[in-house]
Amino acid sequence: MFGKDNNKEGSMHKRESHRGETQKASIYTAGNNSKRNKFFIITLVVILVVVWGGVIYDLGPNFSTSGNDSSKAVQIAKENEKMREKIDNLQTRNRELKDEITALEEKLKDANLPDEDELFVFNDLVKVRDIDPTILVDLCYATKNNFTEQKLYSFELCLLRKSTAEKLAAVQAEVKEDGYRLKIWDAYRPLGVQEKLWEVVSDPIYVADPAVGSNHNRGAAVDVTLVDEKGEELIMPTGFDDFSERASRNYSDLPQEAEKNMNYLTESMVSNGFTPIQSEWWHFNDADIQDYDLLEVSFEEFVEKYFTKN
């Protein structure tokens, strides 16, 4: 009996001992897990701090966790205010320009300008661009860019006899088919200007004696060249009012392209009712020049009649 009881007690003692060891092991394991969790959390925090610090460093001056943000916000607000002021000023100027344009339009309505469909003719003179607005005009005597270095024309007003202007328009239509356009250097020239030219160059080869008069004074002569589609002048023997032998049609040592262009212009002008002269490749007379008398019409008089004809 006692042997059996002793055995039972021994067995129970072993189970109790085993249970105690198991509980200790569990407590030990839990303790270890708690330490690992704490270590993991601490490590994670360190990593986050390092990463966050790197982000702040990368952002540099564009990022701040200090009170500088408020000063930057104030600066941005000031810049926005300046921009709004500029916009307001531009809008105000825009309204002023609109008012100015409206005022100019009203003035134009009261200016009594010629109707587009009505051709103004005064003493048989017309504005060339009223006949053909595609003809280019660059009157050298309306600027200081001429051999006298004086502005001789009070207006850049390109006038010709009506029939002469119509012939020139026919030339323009012809050369446009080949991609060219006419450019006028001089047309009708008042007698007063002829006298000033004669004072500078008293050589009838180049400047007509005002006592006799020039065909320019008749409104039936034109100094002209050609331009391409871009408005660039074609290569010609010389420029305008070149008083050298190279300007002569008889000059034999011209570059091939210059000679070709001069001949092309001459053929077009002649086929539409003009005649050339030998001393100046750019000068052409109306073939009916004998039908026209000298004119004594100033630019000022033409302009006055042009705007007050009614």
Spell out a b/e string for 6-17, using b for 16 or more CB atoms within 10 Å of the CB, else e: eeeeeeeeeeee
Cβ atoms within 10 A of the Cβ of 301, count? 13
Q: How far apart are CA 31 and CA 290, in angstroms?
A: 129
Which stretches within 177-288 are classed as H helix? Answer: 191-200, 256-270
- Residue 96, both tokens: 């002023």
296: closest CA among 189, 185, 158? Answer: 189
Q: What is the DSSP string of 170-187?
A: HHHHHHHTTT-EEEEEE-
**Choice among 21, 100, 195, 280 that is catalytic:** 280
Token look-up 């309306």 returns 142
Is 106 known to be catalytic?
A: no
Residues 262/268, Cβ–Cβ less than 8 Å: no
Quickly tell me which residue has 């008889």 as its tokens: 250
Contact 185, 240 (CB under 8 A): yes
Hey, which residues are catalytic here? 280
